[in-house]
């Protein structure tokens, strides 16, 4: 073999490495070309994805303008504008329209959701003068400089994090106002893709304005440690390499896509490795280029290692010889090391004992120089040492006290030596503690808690005493705070109920001595619960504080105002300087009127102007037989009388008031018992049409009590409504009437009659009202088509949609509805036409003087005409004379009820009456049920 080939074979690693290097260089050039093509394709994909995400956000903002436009065209707004154009006053309709608008706003807010979450905070309806007409939701009211004639682009408020849209409202092609919606800006986060921190990460943000604020998919403001504000200034719609926004400094691609018609930009950040792949990174290219070079270097190194291996074999033989020689030397060295270890262990043991002794000394010294004040005396109570803390407290230097008796520091100089007082305790237990007074160098008396401990010698006798003094300032302050908590209200700073009782009893005792009058004013803020429910408890607390301050300005120095609890205050007028009740009452009334005037002034509750009124009950005291409990009860009764009278008023306690309340309480208790035992009866009053036919009856409840004059429905029904018993009573009445209706259905003479049952507004608003009525009808077997429920106008207009839904559900099974006492309540055609009614009932107060009073006649004619317009039948109650019936018949009223035809009667009597009434030409005589003649 030629020498040249022999050298090649010996250096074959170098030859292979060189060939592989050439191959890798060619491969690197091919990869670079492919990389550039992939980068171009990836940039196009990123641009398309970002544009699509930006379009989603833009479409969402466009939907907000459509929402505002849809609300502006709602029929509730059109009804309000139509009624306002007709000149309707707020009292007779506009307030109801505003209520419908606000309910409509709430519906829009409830169903305007993004992925199941409502995001509209507030909707407002403002007139052309930018005055708010109606609103729903919570939050601030953004200022509206002008009302545009078109739907403006959404306005982004980065400070409040809101999206605001203003849509014009036109009425008959005239700009009359605008609808302003306020949505949560953070809802846009739900349109973004959540960040992916793996493999370098993918982040998506919304930049607001100049990039000072940003929003991510986490619904929170972005930390600018991750997002550089300079990203807001990069060119749009072009991927830009950057290191901003990378948590580990890796290169990132930043793409900013502006949002159409909004000061927003969609910022997409993704690592180059994620976007272009690991093979496109500079590091990958570096590794690829370095690999063949490394392989080449390894080949050279392999050859050098082979040559060194031969040399190492020779070195190993020499090292083995030397190892045997060192082994002999190590044996003698091990013995010396063992000896040194024993000496070191003994030294460590002694060092550890010394450290423990020093630590104990340092602990003792540190304890003595602690924050507590300490003195060491000998067995005769001569001061040996004081610590720095005691010196700072007493003002003495150590040399001024050392060698002197401890008695010099005690304030009780006139008493026996404190050491003698404590001797018994020290002898018994070796320690004593208690509260003492010390005198400082300046003569100031300070209170301290002393812990005295005896140090005993080897015989057990005291050789020294250690005195530790504890500062009682915090304890005394805590005791003062406890007294404040016990006798003062923490919110208003006023005396509380306990403090009031003490002051009142003292004032009552003074009045008994001087034979003069005092007064107790019980004050309750009207509608305070509504304020808490609508504006929040924070505003309620502010109102209580402001009211407390105003109350204090209305009373004299000798008088007391206290917070009794909740929104109730009590003013104690300790001395009215009057010996006659009349003069005392005039004085008390003057103070009460000044309080009402002061409370009624507008109050600023953190930017919200609120007007409040108060109801005041006054109880005078002078007689020694009066107790504090009686005074509070009487003033409370008078206050509730003021509320009953319409609120914002003053009432004095009257003994007759107490009798009335006691009587009412007794009736309520008996009412509760009789409802439970079903001790009520139903009477039925006939309803007759214009042809003299019996068409039905109204069920009237009666309470047969064993007294001379049983209470009338007008007396016990209001008590049942105020106490909540009306629900159980109404259900019992309905069940009894349905049982009777089912029984009559089996009699041909009574099968076609209807029975009208009164339903209270309290019953109607019960959540289970519909299910309860259906259950009673089903269980009794009554024909629902023969059942008529009479409702009044007194139900809450704010719950009109709920009432309509319940009435419609019952009407679907055949039950009919009559509007009772029509004309006596809140009459509004805007909701009357929506109610699923079948009949209007003219109240007897209009029928009584219908033939002599033109006003009553006009009202009755209007109701009859309204019934014809709405397609409702009309029935008149309280018809007692033929002249009344004829007047009503001439105007179109076809059904009547009253003493002209029959009094209310028991079910048995009504059956007899109905059968006689049904006989042609035979009047129901002999039953004493004919028309009432006064």
Report pTM.
0.43
Higher pLDDT, 433 or 928: 433
Per-residue pLDDT reduced to its tens digit, 443-491: 888 888 888 888 887 787 888 888 888 887 777 777 777 777 777 888 9
Per-residue pLDDT reduced to its tens digit, 190-211: 778 776 665 556 778 788 876 6
Residues 480, 533 contacting (CB under 8 angstroms): no
pLDDT-above-90 percentage for the chain:
27
Output the six-digit token pair for 645: 């009278």
Q: How does the average pLDDT of the chain come out, rounded?
A: 82
Residues 229, 171 contacting (CB under 8 angstroms): no
User: What's 357-405 look like in SS3?
Assistant: HHHHHHHHHHHHCCCCEEEEEECCCEEEEECHHHHHHHCCCHHHHCCCE
User: Where does 417-565 have alpha helices with state H?
Assistant: 418-429, 473-487, 497-514, 528-535, 537-553
Please tell me the predicted confidence (pLDDT) of residue 656. Answer: 63
By three-state DSSP, how is residue 487 classified?
A: helix
Residue 927 reports pLDDT greater than 60? no
Please tell me the predicted confidence (pLDDT) of residue 14. Answer: 61
The DSSP bridge partners found for residue 223 are: none
- Strand 614-621 vs strand 608-610: parallel, antiparallel, or unpaired? unpaired
What counts of helices (H) and strands (E) characterise the chain? 26, 32
Please tell me the predicted confidence (pLDDT) of residue 754. Answer: 96
Query: Rounded distance, CA 603 to CA 529, Å?
Result: 17
Name the one residue in this structure whose structure tokens are 């309709």: 93
Query: Rounded distance, CA 440 to CA 3, Å?
Result: 112
Q: First and final CA of the chain: distance in angstroms?
A: 154
Please tell me the predicted confidence (pLDDT) of residue 930. Answer: 44
Question: How many degrees, rounded to 5, is the angle at CA 473 between CA 468 and CA 477?
Answer: 145
Name the one residue in this structure whose structure tokens are 């719609």: 237
- Domains of the chain plus CATH, in order, are 16-62+192-280 (3.30.450), 73-187 (3.30.450.20), 373-471 (3.30.450.20), 479-653 (3.30.70.270), 681-918 (3.20.20.450)
Output the six-digit token pair for 467: 């005195």
Per-residue pLDDT reduced to its tens digit, 559-611: 999 998 889 999 999 888 888 877 888 888 889 999 999 999 999 998 889 99
By three-state DSSP, how is residue 428 classified?
A: helix
Query: Rounded distance, CA 837 to CA 792, Å?
Result: 12
Residue 643 reports pLDDT greater than 80? yes
Output phi, psi for 347, to 5 deg: -65, -40
Residue 628 exposure: Cα atoms within 13 Å on the Cβ side = 15
CB-count burial class (<10 Å; 0-12, 13-18, 19+) for 145: exposed
Contacting residues for 231 by C-beta, under 8 A, at least 6 apart: 207, 211, 242, 244, 245, 254, 256, 267, 269
By three-state DSSP, how is residue 529 classified?
A: helix
Query: Rounded distance, CA 519 to CA 635, Å?
Result: 9
Query: Rounded distance, CA 331 to CA 618, Å?
Result: 111
Query: Rounded distance, CA 876 to CA 861, Å?
Result: 11
The pLDDT of 852-878, averaged and rounded, is 93
Please tell me the predicted confidence (pLDDT) of residue 368. Answer: 66
Name the residue among 817, 815, 842 with its Cα closest to residue 896: 842
Output phi, psi for 460, to 5 deg: 90, 0
The pLDDT of 635-651, averaged and rounded, is 89
By three-state DSSP, how is residue 767 classified?
A: coil
Per-residue pLDDT reduced to its tens digit, 77-86: 888 888 888 8
By three-state DSSP, how is residue 196 classified?
A: strand
Q: pLDDT category, 898, cuts 50, 70, 90?
A: very high
Higher pLDDT, 503 or 38: 503
Per-residue pLDDT reduced to its tens digit, 839-850: 999 999 999 999
CB-count burial class (<10 Å; 0-12, 13-18, 19+) for 188: buried
Residues 232, 210 contacting (CB under 8 angstroms): yes
Query: Rounded distance, CA 161 to CA 183, Å?
Result: 9
Residue 51 reports pLDDT greater than 50? yes
Residues 76, 96 contacting (CB under 8 angstroms): no
Q: pLDDT category, 225, cuts 50, 70, 90?
A: very low
By three-state DSSP, how is residue 475 classified?
A: helix
Length of the chain: 934
Q: pLDDT category, 933, cuts 50, 70, 90?
A: very low
Which stretch, 59-63, 593-597, 799-803, has highest mean pLDDT? 593-597
pLDDT-wise least confident of 33-42, 299-308, 328-337, 745-754: 299-308
Residue 825 reports pLDDT greater than 60? no
């Amino acid at each position: 073999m030629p020498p040249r080939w022999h050298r090649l074979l010996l250096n074959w690693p170098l030859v292979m490495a060189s060939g592989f290097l050439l191959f890798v260089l060619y491969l690197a050039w091919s990869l670079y070309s492919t990389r550039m093509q992939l980068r171009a394709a990836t940039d196009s994909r990123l641009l398309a994805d970002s544009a699509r995400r930006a379009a989603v956000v833009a479409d969402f903002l466009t939907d907000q303008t459509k929402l505002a436009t849809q609300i502006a065209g709602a029929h509730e707004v059109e009804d309000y504008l139509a009624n306002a154009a007709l000149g309707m006053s707020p009292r007779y309709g506009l307030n109801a329209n505003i209520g419908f608008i606000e309910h409509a706003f709430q519906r829009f807010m409830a169903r305007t959701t993004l992925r199941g979450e409502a995001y509209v905070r507030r909707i407002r309806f403002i007139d052309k003068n930018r005055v708010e007409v109606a609103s729903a939701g919570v939050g601030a009211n953004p200022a509206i400089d002008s009302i545009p004639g078109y739907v403006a682009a959404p306005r982004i408020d980065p400070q409040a994090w809101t999206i605001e849209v203003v849509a014009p409202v036109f009425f008959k092609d005239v700009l009359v106002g605008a609808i302003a919606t306020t949505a949560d800006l953070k809802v846009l986060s739900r349109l973004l893709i959540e960040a992916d921190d793996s493999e370098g990460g993918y982040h998506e943000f919304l930049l607001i304005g100049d990039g000072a604020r940003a929003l991510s998919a986490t619904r929170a403001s972005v930390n600018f440690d991750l997002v550089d504000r300079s990203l807001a200034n990069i060119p749009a719609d072009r991927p830009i390499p950057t290191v901003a926004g990378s948590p580990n400094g890796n290169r990132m691609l930043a793409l900013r896509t502006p949002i159409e018609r909004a000061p927003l930009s969609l910022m997409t950040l993704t690592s180059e490795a994620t976007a272009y792949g690991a093979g496109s990174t500079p590091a990958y290219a570096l590794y690829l280029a370095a690999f063949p070079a490394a392989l080449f270097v390894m080949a050279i190194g392999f050859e050098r290692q082979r040559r060194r291996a031969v040399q190492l074999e020779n070195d190993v033989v020499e090292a083995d010889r030397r190892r045997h020689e060192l082994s002999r030397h190590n044996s003698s060295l091990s013995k010396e090391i063992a000896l040194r270890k024993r000496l070191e262990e003994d030294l460590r043991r002694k060092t550890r004992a010394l450290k423990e002794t020093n630590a104990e000394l340092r602990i003792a010294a540190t304890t003595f120089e602690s924050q507590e004040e300490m003195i060491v005396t000998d067995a005769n109570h001569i001061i040996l040492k004081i610590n720095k803390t005691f010196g700072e407290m007493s003002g003495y230097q150590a040399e001024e006290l050392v060698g002197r008796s401890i008695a010099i520091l005690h304030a009780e100089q006139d008493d026996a030596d404190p050491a003698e007082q404590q001797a018994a305790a020290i002898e018994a237990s070796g320690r004593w503690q208690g509260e003492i007074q010390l005198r400082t160098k300046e003569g100031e008396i300070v209170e301290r808690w002393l812990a005295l401990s005896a140090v005993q010698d080897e015989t057990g006798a005291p050789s020294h005493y250690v005195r530790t003094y504890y500062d009682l300032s915090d304890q005394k302050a805590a005791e003062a705070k406890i007294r404040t908590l016990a006798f003062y209200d923490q919110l208003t700073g006023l005396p509380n109920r306990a403090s009031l009782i003490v002051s009142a009893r003292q004032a009552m005792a003074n009045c008994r001595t001087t034979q003069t009058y005092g007064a107790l004013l019980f004050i309750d803020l009207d509608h305070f619960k509504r304020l808490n429910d609508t504006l929040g408890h924070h505003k309620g607390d502010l109102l209580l504080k402001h009211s407390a301050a105003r109350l204090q300005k209305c009373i004299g120095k000798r008088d007391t105002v206290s917070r009794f609890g909740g929104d109730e205050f009590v003013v104690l007028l300790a001395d009215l300087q009057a010996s006659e009740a009349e003069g005392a009452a005039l004085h008390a009334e003057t103070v009460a009127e000044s309080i009402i005037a002061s409370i009624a002034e507008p109050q600023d509750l953190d930017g919200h102007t609120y007007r409040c009124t108060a109801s005041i009950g006054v109880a005078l005291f002078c007689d020694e037989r009066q107790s504090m409990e009686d005074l509070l009860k009487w003033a409370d009764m008078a206050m509730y009388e003021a509320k009953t009278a319409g609120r914002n008023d003053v009432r004095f306690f009257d003994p007759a008031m107490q009798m009335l309340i006691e009587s009412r309480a007794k009736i309520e208790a008996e009412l509760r018992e009789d409802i439970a035992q079903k001790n009520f009866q139903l009477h039925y009053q006939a309803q007759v049409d214009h042809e003299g036919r019996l068409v039905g009856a109204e069920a009237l409840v009666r309470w047969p009590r064993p007294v001379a004059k049983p209470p009338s429905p007008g007396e016990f029904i209001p008590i049942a409504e105020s106490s909540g018993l009306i629900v159980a009573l109404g259900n019992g009445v309905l069940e009894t009437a349905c049982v009777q209706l089912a029984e009559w259905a089996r009699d041909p003479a009574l099968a076609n009659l209807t029975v009208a049952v009164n339903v209270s507004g309290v019953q109607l608003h019960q959540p289970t009202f519909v299910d309860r009525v259906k259950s009673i009808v089903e269980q009794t077997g009554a024909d629902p088509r023969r059942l008529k429920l009479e409702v009044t106008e007194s139900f809450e207009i704010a719950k009109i949609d709920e009432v309509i839904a319940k009435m419609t559900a019952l009407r679907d099974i055949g039950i009919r509805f009559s509007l009772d006492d029509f004309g006596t309540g809140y009459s509004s055609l805007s909701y009357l036409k929506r109610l699923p009614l079948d009949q209007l009932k003219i109240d007897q107060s209009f029928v009584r003087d219908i033939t002599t009073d033109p006003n009553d006649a006009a009202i009755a004619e209007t109701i009859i005409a309204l019934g014809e317009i709405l397609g409702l039948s009309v029935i008149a109650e309280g018809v007692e004379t033929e002249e009344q019936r004829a007047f009503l018949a001439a105007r179109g009223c076809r059904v009547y009820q009253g003493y002209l035809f029959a009094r209310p009667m028991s079910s048995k009597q009504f059956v007899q009456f109905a059968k006689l009434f049904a006989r042609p030409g035979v009047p129901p005589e002999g039953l004493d049920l004919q028309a009432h003649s006064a």
